[in-house]
Chains A and B, each alone.
Chain A
Amino acid sequence: QQQVRQSPQSLTVWEGETAILNCSYEDSTFDYFPWYHQFPGESPALLIAIRPVSNKKEDGRFTIFFNKREKKFSLHIADSQPGDSATYFCAASNSGGSNYKLTFGKGTLLTVTP
């Protein structure tokens, strides 16, 4: 059972456009939603994260939008740059009973074309 679904599998945008990456989850006890990015040949690294006390989290050009009712959250990358080309993973966890576990989506391969 896949608890975190991510779409699209791949996405190509032009430089300067806003890239939108989507995730949905099933477990209503999840309360922590990070996004990790992974550049080719490198390891994943935390990009930005949100807790559902807020519907929005911004960090520069990166914004998470969170919809608790629909169990969805998305990453918006404004003014996309070629250097943003990477694989992006959403994830979710429950800070209660399953505190050890961060469940990842399958990833979105983002390509930003100059």
Chain B
Amino acid sequence: EAAVTQSPRSKVAVTGGKVTLSCHQTNNHDYMYWYRQDTGHGLRLIHYSYVADSTEKGDIPDGYKASRPSQENFSLILELASLSQTAVYFCASSGNLGPSAETLYFGSGTRLTVL
């Protein structure tokens, strides 16, 4: 089964601080995604990538950056964390046909609390 590992599992950050969430997959998948989950909002796409060294904006990219240094790794960066970024963040990957043809495999999630 596909394996997507996120770190840390939870984090408390201060407002204005920098936060980096990491994701590692061992599935040889081309596509990787960052979603945030908030009660009442479902899953919303922040950034995605379909090849190393390239990232694309999703539906809610403001306040977030992403980095894909290799096929296996995909990071989400909050340069100046804000209270509104408190949420659960999920990384996911899918094969080279993309999410319209292949299953999204999600990591275990990172619970971020910004104080």
List residues of A whose CB falls within 8 A of some B CB. Answer: 6, 9, 31-32, 36, 42-46, 89, 93-95, 99-107
Contacts and interface: CB of A to CB of B under 8 A. Distances in A.
B59 to A, nearest CB: 8
Given A42-B108, A44-B106, 14 more contacts: A6-B42, A9-B40, A43-B90, A43-B106, A89-B42, A93-B99, A93-B100, A95-B98, A100-B31, A100-B56, A101-B48, A103-B59, A106-B40, A107-B42
Contacts of A93: 99-100
A89 B104 CA distance: 13
Contacts, number: 56
A102 B106 contact: no
B90 A100 contact: no
B86 to A, nearest CB: 18
A106 B98 contact: no
A32 B101 CA distance: 8
How many chain B residues sit at the interface, stated as a range, is 20 to 34
B99 A102 contact: yes
B50 interface: yes
26 contacts: A31-B100, A32-B101, A42-B108, A43-B90, A43-B106, A43-B107, A43-B109, A44-B104, A46-B104, A89-B42, A89-B43, A93-B100, A95-B100, A100-B50, A100-B56, A100-B98, A101-B58, A101-B59, A102-B99, A102-B100, A103-B45, A103-B59, A105-B42, A106-B41, A106-B42, A107-B42
Q: Is the interface of B mostly helix, strand, loop or mixed?
A: loop
B46 to A, nearest CB: 12
A9 B40 CA distance: 8
A43 B50 contact: no
